[in-house]
Structure 1
Amino acid sequence: MSPTDRFRELLRIPTISYADATRIDPDGFARFRAALERLYPLVHARLEREVVGDGALLYRWPGETSTDPLVLMAHQDVVPVVPGEWRHAPFDADIVGEGEDAAIHARGAIDDKGALVAILEAVEALLGEGATPPRDVYLAFGHDEETHGTGAQAIAALLRERAVTPGLVLDEGGAVVTDVLPGLSAPAAMIGVAERGTATFVLTAREAGGHASTPPRMPATARLARAIDRIRRRPFPVRLAPPVRALLATAAPHVAQPLRSIFSSAGALAPVLTRVLAALGPETNALVRTTAVATELAGASGRNVLATTARAWVNVRLLTGDSIGAAERHLRRAIADPLVEIAVEDGSEPSPVSPWRGEAWQRLARTVVATLGEEVVPLPYVQLGASDSRWFTGLTGAVYRFTPFRLSRSERDALHAADERIGVAVWLRGIGFYRELILAR
């Protein structure tokens, strides 16, 4: 069986996470774990393996030393799908196209079974060759990253209890992309040195209720809609956080004048640069401000009934330097309506910032260039989404977020959406990245 065949088999097993735990199918996760044992026999024969918590997996591969171990992270679960929106069934793992254009269409192809299976392929092959890594290698595969991250939390707590201090932690994150910054024509490996915090705020508007034929002047649904629109029209202020300043400074030598001087002087030009980045598109806008968007709505129990309670769940992603408390104050000012209740349902603050210099960063950057192309420029940046790695920042200062795949704009847009896919050749090259990183000294 080829690596691609194994990958497709694992993609066909639905391991879907839901916020409502009663909707999760534990049999899917059990089948996935059983398939891992069957498909990667050397990994399961020679590495120490533990099931942590409700289904997270922790492997340890003893190396020449236990000092400064390498931790490679990924997660088993995927987000739900709307089947009718997909051109190819989301759990069939169809290969579409030929040669360099061949791509696997499946939920989880990128997020995050692509990384999980590539890591296992690299480890299995190295074991078959009799290799011993220069330092201990831990594989940490959470089972609920897309919802609560309890698996990764449990693994991090276990490593802390065992006094394990990683020299480098690598989780999912940025990819190799093009056209990420004005003037930068070379492909960029976007390595997250920090990630934004995340919080869910619940907005609630109430009224007496009654029949929809006699609505009041300001029904709860209208009050709620107005609050949501006020959040949209009053965005968080733009700001150049230190990792974004580092992104521009690191990119400066790779762009022509006058952008080279502009990027090199990012601090002094922050007021102009932040406005430009905010206007370039959703990704660059998210680099320079905390964002907020309503994602779920709830109202009346019937179509001809006034809602006594209307609710909206607002997803907030916190830029480095912001906080959940500051975000709540901003939302209250933006909504400016005491009759709309605001409550924090859950959240985690922005992560600490890992260094974009030093041994761990250099080892990662060298591996990128050696395996993904000499023309690739490793760049530090703020990871826009949350990942399981945020639970590991208390163990080490060297936590990075990068997935070794070249992804187009449309492929990145398919994450958490329809038609998620990854190029077969792209995925196979990613295996080489993990192999090289494991052996790097």
Structure 2
Amino acid sequence: MGWKSKVALGAAGVVAVLVGVVVVRTVTFKPPAPAGDVPLAAARPFDAARAAAHLGEAIRFQTISHQDAAENDLTQWDGLHAWLQTTYPAAHRAMTREVVGGHALIYTWKGSDPSLPPLVLMAHQDVVPVTAGTEKDWKHPPFGGVVADGAVWGRGSVDDKGSLVGLFEAVDGLAAGGFVPKRTVIIASGHDEEVGGAGARAMAATLKARGVKAWFVLDEGMVVVADNPVTKGPAAIIGVAEKGYGTLRVTAPAPGGHSSTPPPQTGVTTLARAVLAIADHPHPMKFEGPGADMLKSLAPSASPVVKMAAANTWLFSPLLIKQTARSPAGAAMLHTTTAPTMLKGSPKENVLPQDAAAWINYRIAPGDSSAAVMARAKGAVGDLPVTLAWERQLNEPSPVSSTASDGWKTLASLAGSESGAPVAPGLVIAATDSRFMSPIADDIYRFQPITLSMDGTRMIHGTNEHMTLANLEEMVRFYQRLVETAGR
């Protein structure tokens, strides 16, 4: 046998072994986060029409968090608080109520067994403004709370008064029915989530000072995606971590002067080079962490090709990254994102700026840090005469919560039971109030029990935000079953 034949035979042997390994790993593949099989409380009947009417009433309180807090009308929060007390009397008889940090609310439903760690449920009270001039584009007034066409319409119907009303509908019904939990249940409702979460910080500090260590925390964050691109059908995604948040200010000092006699390099040109240098050196995508675990968990419900790739990431991770990154949202799951968003130069067209500046917003992935982001940005700009500094509040990425704990198994079992869909962990690429709860809980999950299409999520913070009646019913039922399952 000649050497060419030997080489060909050897290569064929390597390929055969490779194929064998791929096949075996695919056949024996198991998802990294099984949903579990926890006995769940049955759903109780409730008045769905009343819940819809109540959500409409809550929407009419214009608890708008403006970027400038001086513009906030705090009487709207006071009105919402009074409305909660009047509307849910059984819940308020069963729970103690505290106001902390201005207008944040902590409700405690004391359990009969103090040895059990409490369940903490979160939903914020505030909403974002409606963009001026777009009011005419709404099917119903944005703060009308109109119930029509199978939905409750208005700003905050999904983000996040729907969750707040859903929680109180569930708890009020349980309390009115005589249920007494063994496990303490805490409802923590921040008042300024949309502008930084000072209320959540105050709530976390209060609970920490009392020595609270929660079973787990549940907040908004992810949903049941009706048309998940991996499964080509519904999938319930529970956020087990969220990205950090930081805005980098890049400043290019310059002498200024008259635009008729510009130097070879102005502050604007220096700044432009620096911003492009940073943007052209993005953080690399990696098939790891919660984003990768989501695909692996959904793989058994996906096509054979996806399952094969997920079972053999040692070989196919470059392909998986390429496919996932085909959409901006998919790409954001796999790395720290870099987004130049604001620029400042001269106040007048014929004046050279003395301090041209740009702001670059980062959403920092688990595994990265603000220090690593800063080091990468400094390396990108090199010896360009610019300064880099973090602007305002800086939040590191959250810890990654367990997908093997009893809390996860309970939550995932319930999500699967209610949605009839496969369940997977995921990464929240935005920010929630729950990020401040790490001192009181090892496990923080981010899941709103509603079903939305990929396109349907665009209404959040946008025009024609609405909560379908079917989603509202699903939400009330989910919270009722969760509280009862956790507390029995």
Are the counterparts in 2 of residues 236 and 291 from structure 1 also a CA contact under 8 Å? yes
TM-score by length of 1: 0.92
**How far is 1:228 from its partner?**
3.2
Are the counterparts in 1 of residues 56 and 147 from structure 2 also a CA contact under 8 Å? no
CA distance in 1, matches of 2:278, 2:459: 26
**How far is 1:106 from its partner?**
2.1
1:82 aligned to 91, 116, 131, which one?
A: 131
CA distance in 2, matches of 1:353, 1:323: 14
**How far is 1:294 from its partner?**
2.3
**How far is 1:311 from its partner?**
2.4
Paired AA for residue 186 in structure 2: Y
String of CA shifts for 1:278-308, please: whole Å, max 9, x gaps: 2x21111111010021233333334554433
Are the counterparts in 2 of residues 245 and 266 from structure 1 also a CA contact under 8 Å? no
Task: Give 1:309-388 correspondences, 5 Å limit.
Answer: 309-336=355-382, 338-345=384-391, 346-371=393-418, 373-374=419-420, 376-388=421-433
Distance 1:240-1:423 versus aligned 2 partners, 3 A rule: same
String of CA shifts for 1:109-160, please: whole Å, max 9, x gaps: 2221111111111111111211122311000001121222221112112112
Task: Give 1:4-403 correspondences, 5 Å limit.
Answer: 4-66=52-114, 67-86=116-135, 87-88=137-138, 89-95=141-147, 98=149, 102-182=150-230, 184-212=231-259, 216-278=263-325, 280-302=326-348, 304-336=350-382, 338-345=384-391, 346-371=393-418, 373-374=419-420, 376-403=421-448
Are the counterparts in 1 of residues 65 and 192 from structure 2 also a CA contact under 8 Å? yes
Are the counterparts in 2 of residues 16 and 24 from structure 1 also a CA contact under 8 Å? yes
CA distance in 2, matches of 1:417, 1:205: 35
**How far is 1:162 from its partner?**
1.2
Paired AA for residue 133 in structure 1: P
**How far is 1:237 from its partner?**
0.6
Distance 1:339-1:277 versus aligned 2 partners, 3 A rule: same
Unmatched runs of 5 consecutive residues or more in structure 1: none
Which has the greater radius of gyration? 2
CA distance in 2, matches of 1:48, 1:382: 33
Paired AA for residue 74 in structure 1: A
SS in 2 for 1:173: coil
String of CA shifts for 1:146-190, please: whole Å, max 9, x gaps: 2222211121121121111111210111100034343x1331111
**How far is 1:213 from its partner?**
5.5
Unmatched runs of 5 consecutive residues or more in structure 2: 1-48
**How far is 1:204 from its partner?**
1.7
Distance 1:337-1:12 versus aligned 2 partners, 3 A rule: farther
1:416 aligned to 461, 466, 469, which one?
A: 461
Q: Which residue in the other structure is 1:430 paired with?
A: 475
Distance 1:394-1:75 versus aligned 2 partners, 3 A rule: same
SS in 1 for 2:448: strand
Are the counterparts in 2 of residues 248 and 266 from structure 1 also a CA contact under 8 Å? no
How many residue pairs get aligned? The number is 433
Q: Percent identity?
A: 37
TM-score by length of 2: 0.83
SS in 1 for 2:442: coil
Are the counterparts in 1 of residues 227 and 454 from structure 2 also a CA contact under 8 Å? no
Distance 1:416-1:303 versus aligned 2 partners, 3 A rule: farther
Are the counterparts in 2 of residues 245 and 267 from structure 1 also a CA contact under 8 Å? no
Pairwise CA RMSD: 2.1
Paired AA for residue 316 in structure 2: L
**How far is 1:277 from its partner?**
1.3
CA distance in 2, matches of 1:80, 1:437: 32
Q: Which residue in the other structure is 2:11 paired with?
A: none
Are the counterparts in 2 of residues 196 and 318 from structure 1 also a CA contact under 8 Å? yes
String of CA shifts for 1:37-90, please: whole Å, max 9, x gaps: 222222223310000112110000122323121110111112233132342243
